[in-house]
Amino acid sequence: MVDLARVAYNARAAALPRARLSPSWADALAFLLLAALMALAGYGLAHMRMPLAALQAEPVVLDPARLPFYALLTTLRMFAALAVSLLFTFVVGTLAARSRRAARVIVPALDVLQSVPVLGFLSFTVTFFMGWFPGNQLGVECAAVFAIFTSQAWNMTFGFYQSLRTVPADLAAVATQFGFSRRQRFLRLELPFAVPGLVWNTMMSMSGGWFFVVASEAITVGDTTVALPGLGSWLAQAIAHENMLAVAQAVGAMAVVILLYDQLVFRPVVVWADKFRVELTASSARPRSWMYTLIQRTRWLRLPFAMLARAACWLAETPLRWPVPVRGSRRAPVEPWRTLMRVAAVRASSPAPARGASAARGTRGGVAMAAAAALVTLYLLWRTPLDVAQVGHVLGLGALTLLRVTVLLVLASVIWVPIGVWIGLRPAWAGRVQPLAQFLAAFPANVLFPFAVMAIVGGGLDPEIWLSPLMILGTQWYILFNVIAGASAIPADLKDAARMLGLRGWQRWRRLLLPAILPFYVTGALTAAGGSWNASIVAESIQWGERHLTATGLGAWIAHATEAGQPAAVALGVIVMSVYVLAFTHLLWRPLYRLAERRCRLDG
């Protein structure tokens, strides 16, 4: 049988004038941009495969002429870690959302891993990766990329998992009715629904990687000291030499890099992801990007994107089974994807899932993780000089850090939730605030060390209290970014309905805003709490030149043990931190996740 639609399409394509197939000025400009980016990437990658002896013979120097080169290498490491984080997110997040047995292990493990300090990973991975490439810089590069990965992946995975768990029940029912396979369900429903939130979490994770770039590039573990050329090593050396001018130059270079990749990468992706919002009526304001507009105006550059889109459609467009008959319903429509996108609406509550099964899943996973932590602790007591009194001391240090994390998390939520909702409801403002928020989220705490030391010493302040804000400096933005994503995802028809019903003030927050942002807030607050535990290693023990301030806590214990080359003490600190994180998760975050899945989702 002749495919009339394909014949008509081919006839129209043949009738197109030749001028439409010739490159335009947009193609030339886009080609120049891509060629420049590829040349820079190739130049940087070539310098990452040098012999290790050459790296040690050429130390990092505070020369402004070298700053663009250092910024290039750091940016390549950041995007390499981001690519690995995306792959990890798609595999692990999807597996946890679909398999209850896998979720029993994955979710508690993510709770712990997102709180383990970067130094805790570096203590055990530097030698491992250097063994892969003996005598080559690539082994140290892999260790640095892995360290940055550990500061990016968990937030993205939790956000993706949350999105898959809150897919609207009516959309899932239509997908089942049309006989979608697992692959089709993922490509046609789950992935598009999760894209907007994933994009914002990806931007936040990219900025979160900057926060720990100093620890990732200036690696000191026992007798092993390696300084990779990059902005992190530059900052570490500038802080050690009390060179404020060099610190300011590094911050300026970081701001330029963030602005560039925001305009060239993230802003176009935000505009593209806006098409996946689930709503019945079109929004009056849409995000804009000059780079996205440039790509749309190209003729040749759009061909690779068209090929990728066609490949995705080929993966999703396999023959479907006939719709499963539903008693008392009309005949199913012919266009399942359009049906999926049109039947979405919001309802404040939905049928509760099997709460007992969910609770049992979380409890079993937590018990398994706690049992593993207890076994490792007993092994450390048996094989190392650690004693029971030392374990009790570390537990007390963990309680102090837990108190700091809780107080800071409450304060950050009170400040950033209203601001995030206000920004998310105004797409034009979201576009203006996005690069600024990325820069603030990426701002390394190390830059504030001299000001914190001078303020605490000069004012006679207590380091136990005034070092604490440094813990939340880079992690509070997880709350802001996720709340912005949640508020941006509220369908325009819902906002119109709330306005017509006259919902104002607290009633509007209780009926519309809080239920809409709760799943996103839980993800943001959970990762902010884990990031605060992670940041405690640099916030509870700071140094500026010869002056060193320390606050009593678990982060300072791990930092000192890492510098002294005591892997048993580092392991004990990480285990105690994991125990506190698991307890906090099962007492607070797990019930909030169940509430978000049960009451706050898009359903029809």
Residues 453, 588, single domain; the answer is yes
Indicate if 304 and 229 belong to the same structural domain.
no
- Tell me whether residue 31 is in a domain: no
Has residue 567 been placed in a domain? Answer: yes
> What's the pLDDT score for residue 411?
92
* CA 353 from centroid of its chain's CA atoms: 27
Q: Is the domain of 246 the same as that of 157?
A: yes
- Residue 14 within a domain: no
pTM score, whole prediction: 0.71
Whether residue 17 lies inside any domain: the answer is no
Tell me the C-alpha to C-alpha distance, in Å, between residue 270 and each of 276, 277, 430. Answer: 10, 11, 10
Q: What three-state secondary structure class fits 543?
A: strand
Q: Domain check: are 567 and 434 in the same one?
A: yes
Query: Same structural domain for residues 503 and 573?
Result: yes
Give yes or no for a contact between 482 and 159, defined as CB atoms under 8 angstroms apart.
Answer: yes
**How does DSSP assign 564-603, residue by residue?**
TT-HHHHHHHHHHHHHHHHHHIIIIIHHHHHHHHHHSB--
71 and 209 share one domain: yes
Classify residue 372: in a domain, yes or no: no
- Domain assignment present for 11: no
Q: What is the pLDDT of residue 426?
A: 82
Are 159 and 325 in contact by the 8 Å Cβ rule? The answer is no
Q: Residues 196, 70: one domain?
A: yes
Per-residue pLDDT, 357? 39
Are 85 and 151 within one domain? yes
At 234, which CATH number?
A: 1.10.3720.10
Instruction: For residue 73, name the pLDDT band (cuts at 50, 70, 90).
Output: very high
Residues 306 and 392 in one domain: no
pLDDT digits (tens, 9 = 90+) for 310-350: 776 666 565 444 444 444 444 444 344 444 344 443 333 33
Backbone phi, psi, residue 431, to 5°: -65, -35
Q: In this structure, is residue 548 part of a structural domain? A: yes
Which residues on adjacent β-strands are paired with residue 225?
220
Any domain includes 40: no
Domain count for the chain:
3
Q: Are residues 312 and 422 in the same domain?
A: no
For residue 475, what are the domain limits? 383-603
Q: Are 300 and 412 contained in the same domain? A: no
For position 364, what pLDDT does the model report? 53
> What are 462's two structure tokens?
């207590």
Q: Give whole-number Cα distances, 254 to 18, 211, 232, 289, 442, in Å.
A: 45, 11, 10, 22, 9
Q: Cβ distance 161 to 93 under 8 Å? A: yes
Q: Is the pLDDT of residue 417 over 90?
A: yes
Same domain, 568 and 457: yes
Give the model confidence (pLDDT) of 165-208 as tens digits.
888 777 888 888 887 888 888 888 888 888 888 988 888 888 77
Give 137-141's long-range contacts (Cβ < 8 A, gap of 24+): 137/48, 137/49, 137/50, 137/51, 137/52, 137/54, 137/55, 137/228, 138/48, 138/49, 139/52, 140/52, 140/55, 140/219, 140/226, 140/228, 141/48, 141/77, 141/228
- Single out the residue of 437, 358, 360, 389 nearest to residue 598, CA to CA: 358
Structure confidence by residue, pLDDT tens digits, 76-91: 999 999 999 999 999 9
Which two tokens mark 342?
């049109």
Q: Which of 206, 240, 268 finishes a domain? A: 268
